[in-house]
Every structure is written in structure tokens, then in C-alpha cells.
């Protein structure tokens, strides 16, 4: 895998831990010597991390309150 | 129900769904507590709007309760709930489509490799440098630059941790298409975020 295109193509599977060991070894070898591919890998990993960050996009208290009030009004009475 | 309640046992979804099906609103509310944060985040990131996300949240849980009898235990409750929330979110987008420039379905070519153009290192730990609201805006705006099904594939696979098969089922896509779109969505989001988070 001397080619950055090949490397790029495997980055997604690599992040998912789905590369077979031989391909993984070749990819990691390429990453050591190719800064551009390393940047793409690291920043892709960080991209996923940021979207998964539990501190972001938290449910605002007011929204939660309105949700539970609405559900209770519409559902609970019907059930009783 | 009644005397079988164990001490401090966290009920699993299956038990709560069974109780909710039998008419327990409290059991259903426990499911709401469990998943409201995730469904809200999903709604915000698909629709790009906190207001729409609030509607999605209410509609999704209302529909989930109303259709609980149709839920079959051959899938996870959460996956089933996500399916409802995704449909609500995409419906919101369709309604607004006329004043949107971003295509809802795939209008970008599936073939040809995405070529990374932003190749500078990122500043370390952007989450510590930028204010929370600022990062949320960057993430939301970046997601909105993608066709809706691409960002939804990304959100279901990478954020909500659904399997490829579950994601394919929710979006009525093949598993091959899910994999291809996940790959492209990751790189497209990376490209957008790089513009903000790159060094220098
Ligand atoms: Zn390379």
C-alpha cells in the first residue's frame, strides 16, 4: 500500500476494526511514513468523537419538562 | 406486577415494554427517561434545528406509545424508537424542503473517491478550546451540508451505535449502501470540521 488512495479507502474499515491483520499491518506501515493519511485518520477519528461527546446536545430542561407534560396529558389519562 | 420487584434491579427494556404494553404509564415513562437525550440529539443533528428536534421528540414518543402493540420483540426497542424518530425527522425536512438548498436524497455521485482537501493537523482538543455552544453549531452546520440520508447513516452507525444491518433496515437501504455512505459521510464531515478546527 504505497498509494494514498488505497490507504484512504481502508480508513473507514480500519476505524471500525474490520481490516484483516495483514491489511492492517500494511496500512499502519503507510501511516507511519505518510503524514497526510495520518492527518485524515486522526481527524476522522476526532470527528466521530466530537459527535459522540455526551456533553454536547444535551436535552434542555425546559424541553424535557414540556415533553413529559405533553406525554402525561395525552397518554396517562387514556390509560386510566 | 407487585411483589416480584427485586431490590435495586435495573429493569431491561424488554420488561419495561411488557409493562407499558399492559398499560403501565410509569414503565413507559422510564423508557422515555432512558432515551430522551439520545432521541433529542438525533433530532437536532438530522433536522439541524432545536425547535424541530423538540417536535420530533414529542411526536416520536407519542407514536411509540400509541403503536406499542405493534412492536415485536424481534428487534431492540431502541432501534424501533430510532426508526420512528428518523421518520419524523425526515418528514420535518421534507416539509421544509422548498426553502432548503441541500438535497434530501442522494444527489451526489456514489462513485469516485472523496478526495480530502483539508490536510492540516487539527488543534488538539477543540472541545477544550471552543465554547460548547460554538462546537454544537459547528457540528450541526457541518451535518447540514450533507444529504440527509448520509448524515443519518453517520448518526445511526457512529453515534447511536446501531449495526450496519439495523441502519440498513431503518433507512430501507442495502448494507452495502450503508457502508459506502458511512465512509463518505465520515470524510465529508471531517472535511467540514477541518475548516474550523485546523491549526493556524
Ligand atoms: Zn498516504
Residue B1 confidence class, pLDDT cut points 50, 70, 90? very low
The total number of structural domains that make up chain A: 1
pLDDT in tens, B97-149: 755 554 555 555 555 667 899 999 999 999 999 999 999 999 999 999 999 99
| Least confident window among A59-63, B66-70, B93-97, B140-144 | B93-97
Residue B137 contacts A, CB cutoff 8 Å: no
Domain range annotation of chain B? 4-97, 117-199
Average pLDDT, chain B: 90
CATH architecture of residue range(s) B4-97:
Orthogonal Bundle (1.10)
Contacts of B121 in chain A (CB under 8 A): 39, 42
* % of chain A beyond a pLDDT of 90: 81
CA distances, B34 to each of A8, B28, B30 (Å): 37, 10, 6
Class of domain B117-199: mainly alpha
Write the DSSP assignment of B29-55 as a string of letters: HHHHHHHHHHHHHHHHHHHS-HHHHHH
ipTM of the complex: 0.92
Q: Rounded to whole angstroms, how far apart are CA atoms A68 and B200?
A: 46
Q: Name the DSSP letter for residue B105.
A: S
Q: How far is the CA of B154 from the centre of ligand 1 (A)?
A: 24
Task: List B residues 68-87 in contact with A (Cβ-Cβ < 8 A).
Answer: none
Q: What's the domain range around A73?
A: 4-79
Amino acid at each position: 500500500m504505497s498509494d494514498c488512495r488505497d490507504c484512504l479507502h481502508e480508513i473507514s474499515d480500519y476505524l471500525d476494526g474490520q481490516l484483516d491483520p495483514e491489511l492492517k499491518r500494511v496500512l499502519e506501515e503507510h501511516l507511519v511514513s505518510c503524514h497526510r493519511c495520518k492527518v485524515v485518520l486522526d481527524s476522522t477519528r476526532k470527528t466521530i468523537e466530537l459527535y459522540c461527546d455526551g456533553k454536547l446536545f444535551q436535552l434542555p430542561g425546559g424541553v424535557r419538562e414540556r415533553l413529559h407534560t405533553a406525554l402525561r396529558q395525552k397518554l396517562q389519562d387514556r390509560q386510566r | 406486577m407487585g411483589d416480584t420487584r427485586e431490590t435495586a434491579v435495573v429493569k431491561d427494556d424488554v420488561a419495561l415494554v411488557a409493562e407499558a404494553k399492559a398499560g403501565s404509564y410509569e414503565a413507559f415513562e422510564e423508557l422515555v427517561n432512558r432515551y430522551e437525550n439520545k432521541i433529542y440529539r438525533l433530532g437536532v443533528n438530522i433536522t439541524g434545528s432545536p425547535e424541530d428536534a423538540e417536535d420530533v421528540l414529542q411526536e416520536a414518543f407519542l407514536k411509540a406509545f400509541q403503536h406499542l402493540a405493534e412492536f415485536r420483540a424481534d428487534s431492540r426497542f431502541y432501534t424501533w424508537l430510532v426508526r420512528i424518530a428518523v421518520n419524523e425527522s425526515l418528514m420535518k425536512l421534507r416539509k421544509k424542503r422548498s426553502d432548503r438548498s441541500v438535497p434530501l436524497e442522494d444527489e451526489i455521485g456514489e462513485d469516485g473517491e472523496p478526495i480530502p482537501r483539508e490536510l492540516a493537523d487539527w488543534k488538539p482538543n477543540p472541545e477544550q478550546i471552543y465554547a460548547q455552544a460554538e462546537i454544537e453549531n459547528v457540528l450541526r452546520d457541518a451535518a447540514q451540508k450533507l444529504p440527509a440520508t448520509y448524515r443519518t447513516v453517520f448518526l445511526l452507525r457512529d453515534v447511536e451505535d446501531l449495526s450496519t444491518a439495523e441502519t440498513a433496515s431503518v433507512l430501507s437501504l442495502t448494507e452495502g449502501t450503508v457502508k459506502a455512505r458511512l465512509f463518505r459521510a465520515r470524510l465529508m464531515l471531517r472535511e467540514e470540521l477541518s475548516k474550523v478546527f485546523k491549526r493556524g
